[in-house]
Structure 1
Amino acid sequence: MAEPLAGLVLPVSSWLRLAPHRHWLDMQGQRLLDFSKPSRVPHGFAALGDDGRLQPGAVADGTLTARMTHVHAVAMGRGLPGCAPLAAHGVASLRGALEDHDHGGWYLTPAINGKPPEESRKQAYLHAFVALAASSAHVAGVAGGRELLDTALPIWERHFWSEAEGVFRESFAADWSDEEDYRGANANMHSVEACMAVADVTGNGVWRHRALRIAERFIHTYARDAGYCLPEHYSREWGVLKDDHRDRPADALRPYGMTPGHFVEWAHLLLRLEAALLRADGHAPPWLVEDAIELFHSGMNNGWQRDGAPGLLYTIDWARRPVVHNRPHWCQAEAMTAAAALLKRTGHQRYEHWYRTIWDYIDTYMIDRQQGGWIQELDEHNHPSSTIQAGKADLYHAWQATIMPLLPLAPSLATAVTRPGS
């Protein structure tokens, strides 16, 4: 399952060449999977507290359920015991109380006695993860995975994809009326990942080229024009919403300002998209790797150790000054993943330096050897915090950080694991 070109360009001393390091990654991933298993609840998966236990009254979360389904389907493909039943539970939950059986699509929380939850808007962010989960479940052979994919793709395409704009729309009311006056980089970024996975699983290249259109608008147009600092929030007419959530700067999904962690996350998605296009079509736009390099360095220059302490902070303002100094775990995971991807793509020693530096930071500050899992958020002094999000809800970012360095840039995770060499 080695990257064919990576063996030619990786420095001789690279950690990625070392069997003990690769074993360490694998063991860290298995620790994270084991920690997450108590998050199962009747209608899906719910967030765990810092101690790894469900909180009183825990209720299934739609996005978390889709992410957990994806992760456990991929882990199932790797032959890890206990993951197949959890992936099957996720699929069943996404076909159960989390699905809107009247209008189609998915809720953020389960329906109660057949009635929609209080927050019943249909979110692009959630639906991208449902598509990702369905594709991973299908390729892994999870019962009901194919049916979930056949249900999810027409809904995702019909309601959210805007062919005229080349992006996914943001949200609607439960009955698909009342489209939100908003275009968001975050939901579209995760849609790029889902599009590539769907293309691999279905063999339909249109999804891959939709991913390219999204990247071209958000990155090769808007981010490049802003010096590779990506504005996150736009109106439907594509005006930048610079004051969006100024009163809630630490919002978990739509924070005020710009997010360096997303700069680096986009960087490795661009490299994966380049690899996917090369595998499928034999060619890819050269700007994909060029923009990936610029985005990574912009993210690290604007976000890493900006206040004297190590770690990638959450947000910056329009003058590139720190706003929320806290260090979410996912920012570190995505920075490390981007460094690994750039190292495999270019062989440049500076990415080996970053790869080691970021893993050293994660190991020192975020891996929780007392209660398990990763500490999800640290403050500017690298002490545990819950300003952005409390507890240990997320498996997806941390676990993918342990497996992506072990796999090629293309195909997508579930396909690479379940159909090696495809």
Structure 2
Amino acid sequence: MPASEIQTAWAQRLQRELAQNVLPWWQASIFDAEGRVLGGRANDGAVLDAPRTAVLGTRLLWTFTTAQRRLGRNPALDLAAERALAWVRGTLTDPVHGGVFWSVDGDGQPVADHKQTYAQAFAIYALMAQHAADCAAQGLPLAAVTPAAQDALRLFDLLDTHARDGQAGGYMEACTRDWQPLPDATLSADEPPAARSMNTLLHVLEAFTELLRCHRQPLVATRLRELVEIFLDRLWLPGQRCFGLFFSIDWRPMTTQVSWGHDIEAAWLLRRACEVLADDDLSRRVDALVPQVADAVLQGGVADDGSVLGAGLFDGRVTDARRHWWCQAEAMVGFWDAWQLTGDPRFQRAAWRVWQHIDKHHVDPVGGDWLKTLDEQLHPVDSIPRAGPWECPYHHVRACVEMMERLAHA
């Protein structure tokens, strides 16, 4: 088929995947009868009684409100968005000190009440999606001040006041419930104690990008610009052709790990940040870096079948050959974005091959949604749930929405 027909068919397939497989599963499967968020579901559909993380709750809100705006509203989607907003605003939000708890139990009582910077960033991101949906529904400009935007701006102020490192730059990983520094905090037991992580800074950058898109406050622009510069000057390791993952307080890399999924995700999110900042000089620097990132991921982190591997080391060794759904989702967008920037057909082909892998191996048309992790033989890893503390719809819903828009204008 001509390229235009392939792209049209691809976009239509992505829309069907969202509307008929992914969103219906999450709408029907992640809430209990009272509308509370469940701890998760195993691959066989069994309910998991795990802590309800802010990661899951905020990403649900982002997903449903984004779907309302991009795909059109319907009663089931509206109910899911309403439940997710109530969970974020009423259950996850600390009524005393502000910010969102890291996790709560099924009754909404805090399990871990500290203020992880990563979680606050996703709350901002989700609330700005709610704000955009509210503006679209009410015919308001994005610069309007909605309750969701007010909540997001309050979270920005809390992060900037308590979690920002005014001397060395960047943001600390976490604070206590009352916003005192919490050293050696980590996102999971698999991570080393570190003063800063690329993953946290990436999602703060992502959140500030959407906040600035709607509310062009000078301080938000300043902080977003600082973050882009940190990625360019501190996190990118040119000798290793990757972003470092964990850093000391004085920005020394603490590990030799490479995460190809994070690298390709950072590449397109940095471009998005510069687009919103409208900073030509910074855009030129980022545009020079993006092809290097995409090429490094393509050369070192992509399997023979076009799928993206989990992780490796600076010396090129693969340490995690599993295929994680979120790496595939981000690579599809990141490679396509690199092709849109450079015209290099290798990147266009890489995006298409990732989608072919996703459609063949991750999409589950019978059980619903996507299988989250596959082993080296591309069999589902049953210990990784369909929905859980980290297993959320955000990565693949966003990838589908992004690609639908980009394919329509390619």
Q: TM-score, normalised by structure 2?
A: 0.84
Number of residues of Structure 1 aligned to a counterpart in Structure 2:
378
CA distance in 2, matches of 1:184, 1:309: 30
Partner residue of 2:158 out of 146, 150, 155 = 155
Alignment partner, residue 103 of structure 2: 109
CA distance in 1, matches of 2:341, 2:276: 13
Which amino acid is the alignment partner of residue 39 of structure 1?
I
Q: Secondary structure, in 3 states, of the residue corresponding to 2:400?
A: helix
Deviation at 1:316, TM superposition (A): 0.7
Alignment partner, residue 350 of structure 2: 354
Task: Tell me if 1:177 matches 2:180.
Answer: yes
Alignment partner, residue 385 of structure 2: 390
Deviation at 1:43, TM superposition (A): 4.2
Alignment partner, residue 250 of structure 1: none
Higher mean Cα deviation, 89-98 or 213-222?
213-222
* Kept after mapping to 1: 8 A contact 2:92/2:101: yes
Task: Tell me if 1:23 matches 2:15.
Answer: no
Deviation at 1:86, TM superposition (A): 2.0
* Kept after mapping to 2: 8 A contact 1:105/1:152: yes
* Kept after mapping to 2: 8 A contact 1:15/1:21: no
* Kept after mapping to 1: 8 A contact 2:308/2:323: yes
Which amino acid is the alignment partner of residue 110 of structure 1?
V
CA distance in 2, matches of 1:201, 1:85: 25
CA distance in 2, matches of 1:295, 1:357: 18
* Kept after mapping to 2: 8 A contact 1:265/1:338: yes
* Matched ranges for 1:236-247 at <5 A: 236-242=249-255
Alignment partner, residue 245 of structure 1: none
Structure 1: gaps of 5 or more residues: 1-11, 243-255, 410-422
* Matched ranges for 1:65-214 at <5 A: 65-78=57-70, 79-81=72-74, 82-110=76-104, 116-117=110-111, 119-141=112-134, 144-181=147-184, 182-214=195-227
Over 3 Å counting, the alpha-carbon distance change for 1:216 and 1:85 in structure 2 is: same
CA distance in 2, matches of 1:127, 1:59: 17
Deviation at 1:15, TM superposition (A): 5.5
Higher mean Cα deviation, 292-301 or 104-113?
104-113
Partner residue of 1:57 out of 49, 62, 79 = 49
Deviation at 1:302, TM superposition (A): 1.6
Alignment partner, residue 48 of structure 1: 41
Q: Deviations over 1:28-75 (max 9, x none)?
A: 122211111121244445423214x35143553211110110111111
Q: Deviations over 1:308-338 (max 9, x none)?
A: 6652111112322111111111011111111
CA distance in 1, matches of 2:306, 2:220: 38
* Kept after mapping to 1: 8 A contact 2:370/2:386: no
Q: Secondary structure, in 3 states, of the residue corresponding to 1:97?
A: helix
CA distance in 1, matches of 2:276, 2:150: 25
Q: Deviations over 1:153-187 (max 9, x none)?
A: 22232222334434221112222224324101001
CA distance in 2, matches of 1:337, 1:301: 17
Aligned sequence identity (%):
22
CA distance in 2, matches of 1:259, 1:49: 26
Over 3 Å counting, the alpha-carbon distance change for 1:86 and 1:223 in structure 2 is: same
Which amino acid is the alignment partner of residue 103 of structure 2?
T
Alignment partner, residue 260 of structure 1: 260
* Kept after mapping to 1: 8 A contact 2:53/2:102: yes
Partner residue of 2:334 out of 327, 332, 338 = 338
Over 3 Å counting, the alpha-carbon distance change for 1:206 and 1:283 in structure 2 is: farther
CA distance in 2, matches of 1:131, 1:290: 29
Deviation at 1:386, TM superposition (A): 4.7
* Matched ranges for 1:193-342 at <5 A: 193-242=206-255, 257-278=257-278, 284-305=282-303, 310-342=306-338
Deviation at 1:198, TM superposition (A): 0.4
Over 3 Å counting, the alpha-carbon distance change for 1:229 and 1:112 in structure 2 is: same
* Kept after mapping to 1: 8 A contact 2:38/2:49: no
Which amino acid is the alignment partner of residue 351 of structure 2?
Y
Deviation at 1:400, TM superposition (A): 0.8
Q: Deviations over 1:342-363 (max 9, x none)?
A: 2222333222211211111111
* Kept after mapping to 1: 8 A contact 2:43/2:382: no
Q: Deviations over 1:203-226 (max 9, x none)?
A: 225434423322322344432433
Alignment partner, residue 26 of structure 2: 36
Which amino acid is the alignment partner of residue 129 of structure 2?
S
Q: Deviations over 1:352-396 (max 9, x none)?
A: 211211111111111112211111001111111156x43333211
Q: Secondary structure, in 3 states, of the residue corresponding to 1:20?
A: helix
* Kept after mapping to 1: 8 A contact 2:237/2:244: no
Higher mean Cα deviation, 101-110 or 259-268?
101-110
* Kept after mapping to 1: 8 A contact 2:38/2:48: no
* Kept after mapping to 1: 8 A contact 2:330/2:395: yes
Over 3 Å counting, the alpha-carbon distance change for 1:110 and 1:55 in structure 2 is: same
* Kept after mapping to 2: 8 A contact 1:341/1:405: no
